[in-house]
Amino acid sequence: MTWSQTATQLARWRQSTPEERDAVIEQMEQLPPPDAEALAAILPAISAEYRKDDAPQSEARNRHDRVAWERMLVTFAQQLAGVRELEAFRAERAAAPMSEELAPLLAELGKKYRELGANHPRRHELLELLAMLGTRASLAEFAELVATDPPASHEAALAFAPLFRNELPASEVLFPRLLDAMEHESAATLVLDLANHLYRRRTVSAHPARPRAKTLAALFGQIVSRMQVIEEKPAQFAKTPAELSLLVAKTVGLAIALADTLGLIGDVSVEAKLRQALGVGHRRLRAEAAAALGRLKIDEGFDVLATLAADPGSRTRALAYLEELGQLEKAPEALRTSQARAEGELAAWLAQPTRFGLPPTGLDLVDTRVQKWPGYEEPQECFLIRYLYEFPRGTLRGIGIAGPVTHSLSVDLEDISPSDIYAAYCGWHVEHEEIRLTPVDELPPEALKQWEPLEENLRLAGYEELRLAYVGEFFGELLPVYTAKHSGQPGVLLTEGDERHWRPALSSPRPFGPQEVFYLHVGRKILKTFNDEAESL
C-alpha cells in the first residue's frame, strides 16, 4: 500500500463500507510519513470529501461514518509529524523546503474552505488540517483564512487545537497576520491565547502582540468598563440569568486573555488599564489583572492576589499566581495549608459554570486521611469537605472530595461513614478495562434472559417491582443492579453471586441511585485491597 493508493481509496470514501474504511485507516498507520509527492496526492483526496451541498447530508450521516473520518484525520495528523521533520532535514541541506513545493496545493485547500461558506458544519476541519501540517506555507494559509474568514467560536477552537498541541518551528509566520483576527469575536481570545502560549514555550523570542500593546490595553479598558456597567445594571443586558451568564462568560473570556497578554508583554504603560479591572466584582478577572500587575513588578498586584487567596473560590488560582511570581509568602500561612488548598480546589470546582456557577456559602472539613488511591503510586492526602449553598428557596448541602480527585456526587452522603464516602468517590473515579457499568438499554435482548432465574429467586425473597437498571462488571464478576421495593420501601439492589446488597432510599430527596450503589460497592473493594496491601508491606 502506498500513499497514492490511499488517496484513491479516500476519493471514494462515501461509497466505502465500514470495513473498507477501517482497512484504509489501518493501512495509513503502517505507511512511512508522507513526502511532498505523497501529500500532493493525499490532500486533494481529503479536500474532495468536503462539498458545498454537504450541510444537510452531513447531519444525517451515520455515527460510524463520522467517527471513522475523525479517526482517519487523527491517523493522518500522527503521520504529519514526520512532514515537519522532513522539512527541517531538507532545510538544513539548503534544499527547497517542502512547504514551498506544497504552497499552491495548500492555497487550493484555502480556496475550498472559502467556497464552502460560513454555514458549512465541517469546513473548520480544513483549517485544522492546515494547522496539523505545521509547515510555513500551511501556517501562513491558516493565518490568512482566520484573519479574513474565521469559523464560528466552537469550530474555531477545534481548528486552533493542533497549534497548542504540536511543536511549531515555523510559528513565526502566524504573526502578526493572526492579530488581524482580533476584530472577530470567534477568534480574538484564541489568537491571544496562542500568542501567550508560544511566548511561554519560548517558541518565539518576543511576544507576538508587543507592537500592539497600547491598542490591546485600550480594548481591555473598554471591556472592563462594559463589565462594570453589566454588574451595575444587569437587567439592561439580559432578560434571564442564563443569558446574563453567557454574556459575562464571553466578555470575561476576552478580558482574561487580554490581561494575560498585557502582563507577558511587560509594558508598564498599561498599568492604569490593568488597575481599572481591580474594581470589578468578577473574581477571575480581578485575579488575572492582579497577576498581570505582578508580572509588571507592581506590588499592588501581589497584595490583591493575597487578598483573593482568602476567598475559597479564588484561592487555588491566586496561590498559583503568587507561586509563579515568587511571592507565595504574601499569602497568610493558614491559607497555604493542604486543607486550605483542598477547600479552594473544591470551591473552584463547584463554581464552574457547568455546576453551580458560584462558590459555596460555607465549607467545613468532614474527614482527612492519607490512603492509597487508584491511579497513584504513592499514598494520597484525601479530604472530605461539606459545602453549603443558601438559596432563596432553601439550603443545599453536599459533601465533596478533594485531593487525588476533585468532585461532588449529586446524591445525599450525610448518612454514610467517611470510609464509605471515600469508597463512593473511588468507584466513580476508577478507570479500568475490567470495571464497567452498562445501561440495560445497551444490552442485547438475549443477554437479559440470563437474569430471569435470579429475578425469580429475588421475588421469592420479598423484592418487588424489580427493574434491571445496569449490569456492572468487576474483574470478570457480573453485578446486576436493580431498582426495587422491599417491605414497601423503594431502593436499589446489587447482587454479587449469592450475596445481596440492598440500599433503601430512606427519606432523602437525593437518594443513591443504581450508579452510586455500584460506585460504592466497587470502591469499597478497591480501597480495601489497596490499603490492606499497603499496610502489609
β-sheet bridge partners, residue 394: 391
pLDDT value of position 171: 76
Could you tell me the pTM of the whole model?
Answer: 0.82
Q: What is the DSSP letter of 211?
A: G
Query: What are the CA-CA distances from residue 351 to residues 312, 314, 346, 386, 406 (Å)?
Result: 10, 10, 9, 15, 12
Cell of 223: 471591556
What is the residue extent of each domain of the chain? 1-169, 357-408, 435-536
* 479, 463 contact by CB (below 8 A): no
- The pLDDT averaged over each successive group of 10 residues in the chain (537 residues) is 86 84 89 83 85 56 69 81 64 56 80 88 89 85 94 89 78 90 93 94 90 95 93 86 84 94 95 94 94 96 96 96 96 96 97 89 96 94 96 90 96 94 97 94 87 93 95 95 95 94 88 96 95 60
CB-hemisphere CA count at 13 Å for 308?
32
Cell of 452: 430471569
pLDDT value of position 87: 63
User: For the chain, how long is the longest CA-to-CA vector?
Assistant: 84
pLDDT value of position 409: 96
pLDDT value of position 536: 44
pLDDT value of position 321: 97
pLDDT value of position 485: 95
pLDDT value of position 62: 56
CB count within 10 Å of CB 535 equals: 8
Tell me which amino acid residue 77 is: A
Cell of 427: 468507584
